[in-house]
Every structure is written in structure tokens, then in C-alpha cells.
Amino acid sequence: MARVDGEKRLDAMWRRAAFVDSIAHMQEIRPLLEQIVGPHNLLSAAAWNARGVAWETHQPCNAWAVIRPSNTKQVARIMQVCHEFGQSVVPYGGLTNLVKGCASTGSDLALSFEIMNQIEDIDVTASTMTVQAGVTMQAVQERALQENLYFPVDIGARGTCMVGGNVSTNAGGTKVIRHGMIRDSVLGLEVVMADGTIIESMNHFLKNNSGFDLKQLFIGTEGVLGLITRIIFRLETLPTTHNVALVACENYDQVLAVLQKARQSLGSSLCGFEVMWDNFFGQVVKPVGKHASPVAAGHAFNIIIESMGSQPGADDDTFENFLTDSFESQLITDGAIAKSGSERDGIWAIRHEVEWVVRDAFIFDVSLPIASVSDYVNTITRKISAEINDARIAAFGHLGDNNIHISVLSDSKTAATARLVEKCVYESLIPYRGAISAEHGIGLEKKDYLPISRTSAEIELMRVLKRSLDPKNILNPGKVISPG
């Protein structure tokens, strides 16, 4: 506890220093920044906020301005100015992160990548795509498809989130079980450091062991070590078969058995295994929710199973046989296979219906051993219900890769309630040596709990890196770790 309070005091000191600096220098900086990007690309927070948000992730802009560079050179010049004046900078992608990673104060300058949105190149032979940081995930997916190639990272916020933000958070999604996190799709990066130095680490190859793999410093580090400006992605061969089923199980042992069987039967074509507890599923399908479902609510667990392969006919038979076997051996009690693209989309729409969770609930994103997930969910349900009378808990997520999302709805939205729920969720992970963040990152929201998932030596090494790469603490200050 003393350590957390000490960390907060340090943060406050850093931010106070930054505030004094930026007030003193704001009038001097503004014309310099305007010279770099033009006055129309230096927006007030009021103008920015008036545009509204696609997903309400509760991080309104409080910065004194939002700057929109259009290329790497401009980002570098902005950072040179900011470094000289000690001006803190909060990077903005699509603002869909769920951990207040883009939270800002009046002393910050927000830097939005939204007009750095060019797909620069697609190399079909090498299966690579070179993009600026502000391209949306969906634009990358669609451009790849035009060349019969495939970008395998997919998340519900695909139309809004930007690849710079995705790489900065090491985004996961629904196909991690087969293709890994976005880290596995990044070949090269270009980064602007806190002092404006451009690091061009634009590797094109699958294999390159020439010294340190520097890009890894910036993947998943939430903009605290450098600003990602350009990315080279590795693309995959477009699968030619696609099967999706929704099935129901009555207990967790059956869920585990279905996962095991899916891995064995479908092999590397298994690319999605999403489990929805009935407390999630029942909210989103009719009659309570808006989605029609081929499987009625009321079963303990509902699973979306997805496979993609390259053997038309054979893959479909394998998928169908796997489901028939699972049904005959009483692992699943109900289920349906999508027979068309629109039926596949209809099934996935059920899982992607998270608007109510994102807007109104306390949400969590944790990892732990798959075998223990049900025990864990039962434990936190018991603990939270004992503390908060009206708590409604829903569980769903990428179970195939150890990751479960928990949402807790309560009429009480106070900080004290949030703290109570957080403690139940995070501290209950300790016996399982679980991770407080599977894919959403740490931002401001989970920072106090980092010691649950990282040792003090690991956290100190993070601080050493932060201090040496950003000695003035101007890059996304206060997020993930304090410089110490």
C-alpha cells in the first residue's frame, strides 16, 4: 500500500512539474507547432470533443490542444519542440482502448494520428503491407482482401481503432488461438522517440537476427517509450474455407472437452473459440437482447467455434464430423452450423454485442490457466455479490487463448465501488498467477495492480527503459508505470 501511495505522489510531482512548464511555454510552443502542421491541424479540446466518439471509452480530451501531423517528419519536428519545452504528449489512435490509455490533463498536448492514414504499399510476393499509424484495422483487412491476402487480427472496434494504437496495445482479438497477437504480424516499425529522433526499423523479412529486435520495445508499451509512425505488416494467405458454429454446453468440463476435441480434430484450421457464459449470452439474444440466435438462451455456456482452411469440401466435412462427434458423445447439447456468410456474421454479431458492457459496466480482461477459469469466475461472482447487492456479472471471452472478459454492472458508479470490484477481480487472480491484462493493456486504470502480474524486478526494468528513452517523462506520462 505504501508503495502505491509513493508512486502516486511521484506521479503528481512529475505532472505538476510538467504543468508548470507547459503553462509557461504554451504561448511559445503554439506558433512553433502551427508552423509545422498549419493552424487547421492544431485543434482545441472543445473542437475535438464536439466531434463525438464512435465508442464511449470515457476519455474526453482535456489537453490544451490536439495536433494532427500528416507524416513522420512532422511528428519528429513536433517531438523536438515538445522535448525542448518539456511538453507532455498523449498519443491518440482511434481512442477505443478500455484502460484510459489516452487520458489527458490541461497540461498535455494530444497528438492524433488520424490524418496519417495512408496505405503506402502492398507487396503481394512478399505478403507484406506498409502503412501509416493512422490507418484503421478494417482498412488494412480490406486492402489485403483485394489481393487475396489476409490480415488475421480482428477486433470488434475494427472500423475505428488504428493500427498504431493496435500495435501500441499489442491487440489480440478473436483469432489469437491461430495467428497470435498483433505482435506476430509486425515485421517492421518506424518510431519517433521523445527527443524527435526517428528510428527506422522497417524490417521486411520473417527472419532478421541482426542485433536487437528493437521494434519489440514499442509493441504493447502504450506510447510511453516512443510514437509509432509506420508499420510493415506480414499478411497471410487467404483461407478458402470458413466454418462457424454456435454450440451449447451445460457445464465447464464439457467446455474444456470440446476445446480439446476442437484442437485435435481441426488442427491448425481452428481459429476461434469464444465462450459466453449465459449471463452474457442471455442479455444479447432475443427475447431480452436484439439478436436472433439459432441456440436459445438458458444453457450454462455458449461457444462460437470457427475454422478457416484451404481444402474446400474436406474442411467442411471435418468441421461437421467434429460437431457430430461432440454431440453424440454428449459434450454439446445444442448447436448450429452457419450455412452462409450472413449466418456466420449473425453468430459473430452475438459475441460482438458489447456496447452495453463498454458503456455502462466495470470491465476486466484477465488471463489465467484455462482449467481454472470457471472456478475463478465463480469465486469473483461470490465475492462481488457479497460486497455489492445489485451487482450483475457477465463473463465472456477468448477462452481458447486463456483470456476472459468480466463485466460488472451496478447502479453505483462511484470510485469506491470501482475499487471494490477491482480488488475482487485482480486479487482473486493471485492464486492462479494470472495476468491483470490479457490484451487491453494497463493505461492509467490498472497501474496500481501491476505488481500482481509483474515482479518488482520486472517493474524496475520497465522504469529503467522509460527513464533512458524518455528522460523528461513527456511521452504519455502516468500510463503503465511511473518513471520512479
Ligand X SMILES: Cc1cc2nc3c(=O)[nH]c(=O)nc-3n(C[C@H](O)[C@H](O)[C@H](O)COP(=O)(O)OP(=O)(O)OC[C@H]3O[C@@H](n4cnc5c(N)ncnc54)[C@H](O)[C@@H]3O)c2cc1C
Per-residue contact string for residues 158-177; x = within reach of ligand X by CB under 6 A: ---xx-xxx-xx-xxx----
**Interacting positions 32-71 with ligand X (CB under 6 A):** 55, 57
Main-chain phi, psi angles of 102, to 5 degrees: -115, 20
Q: Which residue has the cell 507487396?
A: 123
For 111-168, the three-class secondary structure string (H helix, E strand, C coil) is EECCCCCCEEEEECCCCEEEEECCCEHHHHHHHHHHCCEECCCCCCCCCCCEHHHHHH
Site for ligand X contains 91 (CB under 6 A): yes
Minimum distance, C-beta of residue 95 to ligand X, in the bound complex (Å): 4
Of the candidates 133, 144, 270, 450, which one interacts with ligand X according to CB under 6 A? 133
Site for ligand X contains 309 (CB under 6 A): no
Site for ligand X contains 101 (CB under 6 A): yes
Task: Please report, as a single letter, which amino acid is at residue 234.
Answer: R
Piece in contact with ligand X (CB under 6 A), picked from 120-128, 157-165, 304-312, 412-420: 157-165
Of the candidates 42, 83, 93, 244, which one interacts with ligand X according to CB under 6 A? 93
Query: Which letter, b or e, does each residue of 48-60 get, where b requires 16 or more Cβ atoms within 10 Å of its Cβ?
Result: beeeeeebebebe
Site for ligand X contains 155 (CB under 6 A): yes
Q: Using CA atoms, how far apart are residues 100 and 165, in angstroms rounded to an integer? A: 13
- Show the cell assigned to 221: 508499451
Nearer to ligand X, 15 or 261 (CB): 15
Piece in contact with ligand X (CB under 6 A), picked from 85-93, 315-323, 370-378, 464-472: 85-93
The DSSP 8-state label assigned to residue 299 in this structure reads: B
Q: Using CA atoms, how far apart are residues 98 and 324, in angstroms rounded to an integer? A: 39
Q: Which residue is nearest to ligand X (CB)?
A: 165
If phi > 0 it is left, if psi is from -120 to 50 it is alpha, else beta; for residue 480 that is left
Q: Judged by CB under 6 A, how many residues of this single chain contact ligand X?
A: 39
Nearer to ligand X, 51 or 207 (CB): 51
Site for ligand X contains 231 (CB under 6 A): no
Site for ligand X contains 465 (CB under 6 A): no
The residue ranges of DSSP E strands in 48-127, in sequence order, are: 65-67, 89-92, 109-112, 119-123
Site for ligand X contains 358 (CB under 6 A): yes
Give the residue from 55, 56, 67, 169 showing the smallest Cα distance to 115: 67
Site for ligand X contains 156 (CB under 6 A): yes
Residue 302's H or E segment, with its range, is strand 301-309
Minimum distance, C-beta of residue 172 to ligand X, in the bound complex (Å): 4
Residues that bind ligand X (CB under 6 A): 55, 57, 90-98, 101-102, 113, 133, 155-157, 161-162, 164-166, 168-169, 171-173, 222-223, 227-228, 354, 358, 439-440, 443, 476, 479
